[in-house]
Amino acid sequence: MKQLRIRTLIGLFLVAGVLSWGGAGMWDSIGTLPSVPPAAPIVLAAIAAVLLATALSLRSRLRAQRERRPGAKGVEPLMAARAVVFGQASALVASLVAGMYGGTGVFLLNRLDVPARQDQAVYAGFSVLAGVAVVAAALFLERVCKLPEDDDTAEGAAPA
């Protein structure tokens, strides 16, 4: 499984932000701009909390297993792989969603004279922050589940 690249996540964020900013401008010119749901930052923050809790749990279980503590509950490799896949998928989607709300928020910054638009800009800003929290938690989870490098195959492998 390949490791997530921060450049990829930043690229997704920027592309989604630019497209969202342009789309918000076009949408606003022909009618009303769709609103940013107040639940968006709450859902993203909940996903970040689940990812962080999973990472902390796996880290403590892996540490106990490594230290060979009596009664240590091991980590099944398939469970760790599923957690990493969940984290990577969450990070990719959060980058897109944060970019979308970020572009909408930037568009709304020029139109803060309407109180409803002020609220929408605040929701968009919190959504971007929560999206960044999801990405950070996913990267932490990926780091926790990373296998140690296998030095035997890299240096001392016998030629076939």
Predicted confidence at residue 149, as pLDDT, reads 63
DSSP code, position 111: T
Element (H, E) at 50: helix 40-66
For residue 11, what pLDDT is reported? Answer: 95
Q: Tell me what pLDDT residue 132 has.
A: 96
Nearest to 141 by CA among 95, 85, 97, 98: 85
CA distance linking residue 130 with residue 20, whole number of Å: 18
Please tell me the distance from the alpha carbon of residue 160 to that of residue 96, in angstroms, as a whole number. Answer: 46
Q: Give me the pLDDT at residue 55, please.
A: 93
Q: Where are the domains of the chain?
A: 10-29+36-68+75-147
The answer to whether 20 touches 99, Cβ cutoff 8 Å, is: yes
| pLDDT tens over the chain, length 160 residues | 688 899 999 999 999 999 999 998 888 888 777 788 999 999 999 999 999 999 999 988 888 777 777 776 777 888 888 999 999 999 999 999 999 999 999 998 887 887 778 888 999 999 999 999 999 999 999 998 886 664 444 454 545 4
Q: Are 75 and 58 in contact (CB under 8 A)?
A: yes
Residue in the block written with tokens 């490098």: 149
Residue 88 is predicted with a pLDDT of 94
Task: Supply the pLDDT for residue 16.
Answer: 96
103: number of Cβ within 10 Å: 25
Tokens, residue 30:
């022909």
What is the three-class DSSP state of 39?
coil
For residues 133 and 51, give the distance between their C-alpha atoms in angstroms, rounded to a whole number.
10
Q: What is the pLDDT of residue 31?
A: 77
What pLDDT does 150 receive? 44
For 56, the token pair is: 């902390």
